[in-house]
Structure 1
Amino acid sequence: MPEVNFYDEVDDSLLKFAVIISKADGKWVFCKHKERDTYEIPGGHREEGELILDTAKRELREETGAIDFNIKPICVYSVKGKTRVNKNENDESYGMLYVADIFLFEEIHSEIEKIIFTDELVDDWTYPLIQPKLIEEAQKRGFL
């Protein structure tokens, strides 16, 4: 089972992902990938030479269609253990966790089939052992 850890900071070169806990009009925003029947928090991989904040903004725009939003960093998170990204039990991958309030959307042109807006957290998570923990940490730190 993957282990999720939280840090105030790590070396920038370790940050490979950005995940953005998002709300619009007070409702949670979740994405459904075209190839899955589950929902997830917007986010994705950092591109070569990209600032991690730019990764977060790009992924939020690509996965939700958000074009007007406020975004703030929460903390660094890591996932240790075998996952789709980590090939071995001892591998640890790092990402930056953000929170965003979205005010305006445009049409999505990406691998995302649709986004949903909900008052409650989803039950059918794509990453059930990871993403609920990210939301819990954001709540503990007073961001939600």
Structure 2
Amino acid sequence: MFKVNFYELNTIEDSKLKFAVIMAKFNGQWLYVRHKDRNTWEIPGGHREENESINDAASRELYEETGATKFKLTPICVYSVESDENINYTKSFGQLFYSEVEGLDNELRYETSEFKPFSDMPDNLTYPLIQPFLHKRTLEFLKEKK
């Protein structure tokens, strides 16, 4: 069983935020990426590098995975994923962001083999037990913002 937990921003110690995930929209559509080693879709994001702020990690990952050159990032919340399937599991935290992308450079780089806009979440997800919760939380955030 997987459980996704959400936390208010700044309630989890910054050093515990290990990754950034960015729900990004371009021309009104959600950007999803396909990793070179997989045939499924995922939300752009990745691990934070040493001495990198979580915001810088989000900017870097969005650029590396989608080619986004002009965008605005908005932090939404912190989240964690718990699993009772792995006895050695350590809870890890990530920060979820929303981004309005205004400019893309279509050159693929790093580990991404493809990125594509979708009007809704694609069916074939890399992390089907996690990504729908992140997508839903982003939609709630956007509704609250109005």
Tell me the TM-score normalised to structure 1 length.
0.92
Out of 23, 31, 41, which is 1:29 matched to? 31
State the SS of the aligned residue for 1:141. helix
Shift of the alpha carbon at 1:80? 1.2
Provide the residue aligned with 2:98 in structure 1. Answer: 99
What is the alpha-carbon distance in structure 2 between the residues aligned to residue 37 and residue 90 of structure 1? 26
How many residue pairs match? The answer is 141
Give the partner amino acid of 1:92. Answer: K
Equivalent residues of 2:12, 2:78 under 8 A apart: yes
Equivalent residues of 2:121, 2:135 under 8 A apart: no
Shift of the alpha carbon at 1:111? 0.6
Shift of the alpha carbon at 1:105? 1.1
Unaligned runs of 5+ in 2: none
> Do structure 1's residue 58 and structure 2's residue 60 form an aligned pair?
yes
Shift of the alpha carbon at 1:108? 2.2
Provide the residue aligned with 1:140 in structure 2. Answer: 140
What is the alpha-carbon distance in structure 1 between the residues aligned to residue 89 and residue 37 of structure 2? 28
Could you report, residue by residue, the CA deviation over 1:15-68 in whole angstroms, capped at 9, with x for unpaired residues?
000000011000110000111010000000000010000000000000000010
Provide the residue aligned with 2:125 in structure 1. Answer: 125
Equivalent residues of 1:82, 1:91 under 8 A apart: no
Equivalent residues of 1:81, 1:89 under 8 A apart: no
What is the alpha-carbon distance in structure 2 between the residues aligned to residue 24 and residue 17 of structure 1? 22
State the SS of the aligned residue for 2:57. helix
Equivalent residues of 1:82, 1:89 under 8 A apart: no
| Counterparts of residues 74-93 of structure 1 (less than 5 Å) | 74-81=76-83, 88=87, 90-93=89-92
State the SS of the aligned residue for 1:140. helix
Shift of the alpha carbon at 1:81? 1.7
The alignment's C-alpha RMSD in Å is 1.7
Give the partner amino acid of 1:57. Answer: S
What is the alpha-carbon distance in structure 2 between the residues aligned to residue 58 and residue 94 of structure 1? 18
| Counterparts of residues 66-77 of structure 1 (less than 5 Å) | 66-77=68-79
Shift of the alpha carbon at 1:140? 2.1
Write out the 4+ residue segments of structure 1 that deviate beyond 6 Å after TM superposition. none
